[in-house]
Amino acid sequence: MRRVHQWNATFSLALFLFFCSAAFAQVPFERIANADKEPGNWLTYSRNLQGHRFSSLTEINTQNVSGLKVKWAFQSPYSRLEVSPIVIDGILYVTGPNSAAALDGRSGRPLWIWKRPIPSDYHSIGFGHSNRGAAVLDDKLFVATLDGYLVALDLKSGAERWSAKVLDYKTGYSMTMAPLAIDGKVVVGVSGGEAGIRGFIDAYDAKTGAQAWRFWTIPGPGEPGHETWSGDAWKTGGGATWVTGAYDPELKLVYWGVGNPGPDWNGDMRPGDNLYTCSFVALDAGTGKLRWYFQFSPHDTHDWDATHVPMLFDAQIGGAKRKLIGVANRNAFYYVLDRTTGEFIAGKPYAKQTWAKGLDAKGRPIPAANNEPSKEGNLIWPNLNGATVWFSPSYDPQTRFVYVATREIGARYFKRDTAYKVGTFFPGGGEDELPPDDAWGAIKALKAETGELRWEFKLHSPPWAGVLSTAGGLVFSGSDEGNFYALDARTGKPLWDFQTGGAIGANPVSFTIDGHQCIAIAADRVLYVFGL
């Protein structure tokens, strides 16, 4: 079977090179920074560095989307793909756990496949074996592995060019996210928030793999913010960084979400606000130094990571144009901040929540009664997965709406005693979810600068798929029951749907093949590509 793949790969490669002289072009940073100038490609996780997941392609639009059909499908050996493909000049780059492949955009046939063995003693703590995608810069593709390596692959062949050890998986760290390539560097974050890690964000030199800087998400002794921890709790305080951030090339700031404190559900073991958990941090791209932070859920006890793709946009606030950053947080509030300073601009709930009475003038939550896990269990909305999770939102510059795949589900939260042991689950409690028919989902369109609800499209169950918006006036997303669908971006009206046959837990992308617009989504182990 593998021999057939290899033969086909060689043949497809030759064929592709024959037809497409632009194949395997280099991707300097300028191309990524100016992604909007080449809508046929998808050069970074969110298509642009600003985290928009918006395509300016218009061939597929509200008038013709009902004719969308499958062009090809790629069967992966890995179940429940979470990948958001990179697309460069007609070639798709996809990833799985410790693996990557280049796919011919016309046929889906692999051009090369790269794999690195997962060590037999590797153990995921708190998540499945997954990988959400790659980054690209110049002539290399960058992939983060479960066992803690950032690997640079040759775009043409898949051969390893360098490999940097980011972390020691034996202590509970891992990596599942797509790296973010910025000017000359590759930025990565880590998983392990349920294993008592101390989180960090790393940058590596894209050419050599040498570490450029590290930002610890939990300040050590003597550093500002350390006073928000007591005793040794900071050493096992979590603060994972497992979702790809955003970058402002003008401000030269990297924006990144930080995960929950540990242990997750027992806050008695870590009194204080527990900075910088459940925060956005803005880091100097050159040095990794903290420029500002904003903590959404101080002293979180619900596992509400702030690991979301930040959306960077500009808008008029009080008569003045402001550089903003927006996020629909796992804690069920939508926030708008000034992305130069971190100042709180606006915030309001976008899903059912029972844990806070609201936000104060600085955006800090005002706790409601009975909002904590307890020995007997406390019913709280949202559940531990939050009102949205890792999957991407989308910012549409045409409607100026933010589209959020929203989970409407509560749970009974429990608190338990727990003891830290290196490389093991460190929960301090858990939850008992409400039955499936008591939960639902929605795609919600929010006014970007205020969070005001403009429309919602209800889903049968809480979703695990991200959102793509397009200049064709469409919003694409997927359901846990396998529906891939398109909505009218202005009204939320459903215009097209397709049953993929597998649960969708991935982000959609759009690009062109031979000049024609395509939409891709992974559903369970299959990557589908659609076109007219």
Catalytic annotation, residues: 303
Q: Which helix (H) or strand (E) holds 11?
A: helix 2-19
Decide whether 57 or 218 has the Cβ nearer to other proteins.
218
Cis peptide before 263 (omega within 30 of 0): yes
Torsion of CA 444, 448, 451, 454, to 10 degrees: -50
Q: Residue 191: beta bridge partners?
A: 174
Residues numbered 130-169 forming contacts with other proteins, rule: CB under 8 A: 130, 169
| Residue 525 interacting with other proteins (CB under 8 A) | no
The token pair at 53 is 């997941």
Separation in Å, CA 375 to CA 261, 371, 379? 19, 13, 12
Q: How far apart are the first and last CA of the chain?
A: 32
| Residue 462 interacting with other proteins (CB under 8 A) | yes
Decide whether 357 or 375 has the Cβ nearer to other proteins.
375
Decide whether 12 or 174 has the Cβ nearer to other proteins.
174
| Residue 458 interacting with other proteins (CB under 8 A) | yes
CB of 190 to other proteins, least distance (A): 10
| Residue 473 interacting with other proteins (CB under 8 A) | no
Each residue 96-125 as x (binds other proteins by CB under 8 A) or -, in order, gives -------------------------xxxxx
Which residue stretch of 256-264, 344-352, 357-365, 444-452 sits at the interface with other proteins (rule: CB under 8 A)? 256-264
Which residue stretch of 201-209, 260-268, 286-294, 506-514 sits at the interface with other proteins (rule: CB under 8 A)? 260-268
**Distance between CA atoms of residues 15 and 40, nearest Å:** 21
Interacting residue with other proteins among 38, 205, 433, 488 (CB under 8 A): 433
* DSSP structure class, residue 12: H
Q: Residue 269: beta bridge partners?
A: none
Annotate 120-137 with b (16+ C-beta within 10 A) or e (fewer).
Answer: eebebbbbebbbbbbbbb
CB of 347 to other proteins, least distance (A): 22
Amino acid residing at 337 = L
| Residue 416 interacting with other proteins (CB under 8 A) | yes
Contact in structure between 404 and 393 (CB atoms under 8 Å)? yes
Which residue stretch of 13-21, 91-99, 381-389, 518-526 sits at the interface with other proteins (rule: CB under 8 A)? 381-389
Site residue total, other proteins (CB under 8 A): 73
Task: List, as one string, the DSSP characters of 152-173.
Answer: EEETTT--EEEEEE---GGGT-
Phi, psi dihedrals of residue 108, rounded to the nearest 5°: 80, 0
How many other CB atoms are found less than 10 A from the CB of residue 42? Answer: 28
Which residue stretch of 20-28, 127-135, 221-229, 267-275 sits at the interface with other proteins (rule: CB under 8 A)? 127-135
Share in percent of the chain as helix, strand, coil (round to 5): 10, 40, 50
| Residue 528 interacting with other proteins (CB under 8 A) | no
Decide whether 110 or 382 has the Cβ nearer to other proteins.
382
For residue 129, give the nearest of 188, 84, 178, 174 by alpha carbon: 174
Residues numbered 186-205 forming contacts with other proteins, rule: CB under 8 A: 191-194
Decide whether 441 or 531 has the Cβ nearer to other proteins.
441
| Residue 127 interacting with other proteins (CB under 8 A) | yes
What's the per-residue H, E or C state across 51-85?
Answer: CCCEECCCCCCCCCHHHCEEEEEEECCCCCCCCCC
| Residue 352 interacting with other proteins (CB under 8 A) | no
Interacting residue with other proteins among 313, 335, 395, 414 (CB under 8 A): 414
CB of 194 to other proteins, least distance (A): 5
**Distance between CA atoms of residues 44 and 133, nearest Å:** 9
Which residue stretch of 97-105, 355-363, 452-460, 515-523 sits at the interface with other proteins (rule: CB under 8 A)? 452-460
Which residue stretch of 215-223, 316-324, 430-438, 518-526 sits at the interface with other proteins (rule: CB under 8 A)? 430-438
Residues numbered 384-403 forming contacts with other proteins, rule: CB under 8 A: 384-385, 389-390
The token pair at 340 is 């130069």
| Residue 381 interacting with other proteins (CB under 8 A) | no
Interacting residue with other proteins among 364, 425, 490, 516 (CB under 8 A): 425
Contact in structure between 161 and 52 (CB atoms under 8 Å)? no
Annotate 92-106 with b (16+ C-beta within 10 A) or e (fewer).
Answer: bbbbbbbbbbbbbbb
For residue 531, give the nearest of 31, 108, 78 by alpha carbon: 108
Interacting residue with other proteins among 85, 423, 473, 502 (CB under 8 A): 423
Decide whether 266 or 517 has the Cβ nearer to other proteins.
266
Interacting residue with other proteins among 363, 505, 508, 531 (CB under 8 A): 505
| Residue 344 interacting with other proteins (CB under 8 A) | no
CB of 529 to other proteins, least distance (A): 21
Residues numbered 78-97 forming contacts with other proteins, rule: CB under 8 A: 80
Decide whether 170 or 516 has the Cβ nearer to other proteins.
170
**Distance between CA atoms of residues 82 and 524, nearest Å:** 8
Which residue stretch of 91-99, 332-340, 360-368, 481-489 sits at the interface with other proteins (rule: CB under 8 A)? 481-489
| Residue 430 interacting with other proteins (CB under 8 A) | yes
CB of 202 to other proteins, least distance (A): 18
Each residue 215-254 as x (binds other proteins by CB under 8 A) or -, in order, gives -----------------------x-x-x------------
| Residue 431 interacting with other proteins (CB under 8 A) | yes
Beta-strand relationship, 394-396 and 401-408: antiparallel
Each residue 282-321 as x (binds other proteins by CB under 8 A) or -, in order, gives ---------------------x-x-x--------------
For residue 406, give the nearest of 342, 305, 331, 313 by alpha carbon: 331
